[in-house]
Structure 1
Amino acid sequence: MSARSENPGASSELTAAGEPELRACAQPDPALAGTPRAEGTPPVRPALGCGRRGRNCSSRAGRGGHVVRGCRDKERAWEPERSGTGGLAAAGHLSNSMASPKKKLQGLVAATITPMTEHGEINFSVIGRYVDYLVEEQGVKNVFVNGTTGEGLSLSISERCRVAEEWVTKGRNKLDQIVIHVGALSLKESQELAQHAAEIGADGIAVIAPFFLKPWNKDVLINFLKEVAAAAPALPFYYYHIPALTGVKIRAEELLDGIQDKIPSFQGLKFSDTDLLDFGQCVDQNRQRQFAFLFGVDEQLLSALVMGATGAVGSTYNYLGKKTKQMLEAFERKDFSSALNHQFCIQRFINFVVKLGFGVSQTKAIMTLVSGIPMGPPRLPLQKASREFTDNAEAKLKSLDFLSCTDLKDGNMEACS
Structure 2
Amino acid sequence: MTHDPRPFGRLLTAMVTPFTSDGSLDTEGAARLAAYLVDEQRNDALVISGTTGESPTTSDAEKDALLRAVVEAVGDRAKVLAGVGTNNTAHTVELARAAEKAGASGLLVVTPYYSKPPQAGIERHFRTVADATGLPIMVYDIPHRAGTAIATETMCRIAEHERIVGVKDAKVDLVATSWVLSRTDLAYYSGDDAATLPLLAVGGVGLVGTSTHFTGHLAKDMIEAYERADTATALTLHRKALPLFTGIFRTQGVMLVKAGLNALGRPAGPVRAPLVDATGEELNQLRQDAAAAGIVL
TM over 0.5: same fold? yes
Paired residues of 2:84 and 2:92 also in contact (CA < 8 A): yes
Structure 2 residue corresponding to 1:394, chosen from 268, 272, 287: 287
CA distance in 1, matches of 2:147, 2:245: 24
Worse overlay, 157-166 or 379-388: 157-166
The aligned runs of 1:8-407 (5 Å cut-off) are: 104-175=7-78, 177-217=79-119, 219-232=120-133, 234-251=134-151, 253-261=152-160, 263-286=161-184, 289=185, 291-352=186-247, 354=249, 356-370=250-264, 372-402=265-295
CA distance in 2, matches of 1:277, 1:189: 33
Instruction: State the Cα distance separating 1:235 from its structure 2 match.
Output: 0.8
1:191–1:353 CA distance, 2 compared to 1 (3 A): closer
Query: Which structure has the highest helix share of the two?
Result: 2
Paired residues of 2:196 and 2:207 also in contact (CA < 8 A): yes
Higher relative contact order (CA 8 A, sep 6+): 1
Give the match's secondary structure for 2:40.
Answer: helix
Give the match's secondary structure for 2:139.
Answer: strand
CA distance in 2, matches of 1:333, 1:100: 21
CA distance in 1, matches of 2:82, 2:2: 15
Give the match's secondary structure for 1:169.
Answer: helix
1:350–1:200 CA distance, 2 compared to 1 (3 A): closer
Instruction: State the Cα distance separating 1:184 from its structure 2 match.
Output: 1.4
- TM-score normalized with structure 2 length: 0.92
CA RMSD, Structure 1 to Structure 2 (Å): 2.1
1:191–1:393 CA distance, 2 compared to 1 (3 A): same
Give the match's secondary structure for 2:82.
Answer: strand
Paired residues of 2:136 and 2:165 also in contact (CA < 8 A): yes
Counterpart of 2:278 in structure 1: which amino acid?
Answer: A
Q: What residue ranges of structure 2 are gaps of 5+ in the alignment? A: none
CA distance in 2, matches of 1:277, 1:116: 40
CA distance in 2, matches of 1:209, 1:312: 18
1:250–1:141 CA distance, 2 compared to 1 (3 A): closer
- Between the aligned residues of both structures, percent identity stands at 28
Give the match's secondary structure for 1:138.
Answer: coil
CA distance in 2, matches of 1:99, 1:309: 19
- The Cα offsets for residues 192-231 of structure 1, whole Å up to 9 and x where unpaired, read as 11111111221111211221222112x2111112222222
CA distance in 2, matches of 1:266, 1:216: 19
CA distance in 2, matches of 1:374, 1:154: 18
- The Cα offsets for residues 268-317 of structure 1, whole Å up to 9 and x where unpaired, read as 2111122111112121222xx3x221111101111001011012111112
1:101–1:154 CA distance, 2 compared to 1 (3 A): farther
Q: State the match for 1:33 in structure 2.
A: none
Paired residues of 2:210 and 2:257 also in contact (CA < 8 A): yes
Instruction: State the Cα distance separating 1:402 from its structure 2 match.
Output: 2.8
CA distance in 1, matches of 2:235, 2:261: 25
1:399–1:104 CA distance, 2 compared to 1 (3 A): closer
CA distance in 2, matches of 1:305, 1:126: 33
Counterpart of 1:338 in structure 2: which amino acid?
Answer: T
Paired residues of 1:145 and 1:164 also in contact (CA < 8 A): yes
Paired residues of 2:243 and 2:289 also in contact (CA < 8 A): no
**Greater Rg by CA:** 1
CA distance in 2, matches of 1:193, 1:358: 25
Instruction: State the Cα distance separating 1:385 from its structure 2 match.
Output: 0.5
Instruction: State the Cα distance separating 1:103 from its structure 2 match.
Output: 7.1
